[in-house]
Structure 1
Amino acid sequence: MIPAASLFSLCSTIALLGWVALAIALFAPRLRRATWIGTGLVLPALLAVAYIGILAAGLAGGAKGGFDSIEAVRSLFADDHALTAGWIHYLAFDLFVGTWIARAGIGAGISPLLLLPCLVLTFLVGPAGLLLALVIGLSTGRLGLETRP
């Protein structure tokens, strides 16, 4: 098993590369399909595998804590395996959401220049980027909660 600190760094690097590719694809239509498959399916799936593995290692190692109180969550995340699992959870979901923002935004005809700050915020502070994308989409009347096939 890969040590938690190494898995943390590896997954962070993989996600960062995905985010860079996603940002580039906003301005490079020929790269979009392959990038969106990578950032919306492949990388989140790989991160999910890493998440399950590190979570299992933490549970097998006797990680204490839970989700029923802030004290229990603090105790849970005192374990490096659980903390790394939580980080990978963010990496996978934020990249998936970023891909949705890019796909839905481009599909709705929103300028890549408006979508780029949404991606940056989603990368840095996930829900804030999603909120900005929704505000832009709803204020332009071009992006709702639905996606096109």
Structure 2
Amino acid sequence: MPWETIFEVTNIYAMVCWLLLLLAPKREQVLPLLFMAGCGLLAATYTVLIVGLMSGTLDAAGPRSQDFSSLAGVMGLFDSKGGATIGWIHYLAFDLFVGIWAARNADRRGIARWLQLLVLPFIFLLGPLGLVLYLLLRTFAGKSVENAVAPS
């Protein structure tokens, strides 16, 4: 399968998962499914592709680097269609994981869904910035729970 197709399919899949996360009316029933079918499938896809790329089974469709120890090496990882696609799937999987955690955490703290809807898209689009926004939101909104600083 061409790297462009893998990129497009995983991108659309992640968007559908995020729409379910944002809009599902009974989210407590949807979160376990999103966790396994969303994060799990993206992580499994990443695993198959990265193992295939690093073992030489898959063609990177460009220069291939396995150097994680320098900026030039990491840039080399993303300098091929395969490397960029696999890197993007990595982001999609982890951002969805953080989004699911934030939504579940906010629900437990009684943070209104409309406030969550202001923050969750930032997690999807800008990852760590969205996480910072959520951590600020939960500091000032919702009920206090035991161990409020930990990511429970």
* TM-score normalised to structure 2 length: 0.85
Pair 1:9 & 2:13 matched: no
Q: How big is each residue's C-alpha offset from its partner over 1:68-125, in whole Å with a ceiling of 9 and x where there is no partner?
A: 1111111111121111111001101100110111111011100111111211100110
| Residue of structure 1 equivalent to 2:35 | 40
Of residues 70-79 and 91-100 in structure 1, the stretch that sits farther from structure 2 once superposed is 70-79
Structure 1 vs Structure 2: percent identity of aligned residues? 32
Displaced runs of 4+ in structure 1, greater than 6 A?
none
Pair 1:70 & 2:71 matched: yes
- Decide which of 141, 144, 149 is 1:144's aligned counterpart: 149
- Decide which of 49, 52, 55 is 1:57's aligned counterpart: 52
Pair 1:92 & 2:90 matched: no
**Inter-partner Cα distance in structure 2 for 1:85 and 1:35:** 26
Aligned residues between the structures:
142
| Residue of structure 2 equivalent to 1:20 | 19
**Inter-partner Cα distance in structure 2 for 1:22 and 1:95:** 9
The question of whether the paired residues in 2 share the 8 Å contact of 1:8 and 1:84 is answered with yes
Alpha carbon RMSD of aligned pairs, Å? 1.6
**Inter-partner Cα distance in structure 2 for 1:116 and 1:43:** 19
The question of whether the paired residues in 2 share the 8 Å contact of 1:41 and 1:96 is answered with no
**Inter-partner Cα distance in structure 2 for 1:116 and 1:124:** 13
| Residue of structure 1 equivalent to 2:107 | 106
**Inter-partner Cα distance in structure 1 for 2:112 and 2:124:** 19
**Inter-partner Cα distance in structure 2 for 1:10 and 1:38:** 19
**Inter-partner Cα distance in structure 2 for 1:73 and 1:9:** 23
Deviation at 1:139, TM superposition (A): 2.4
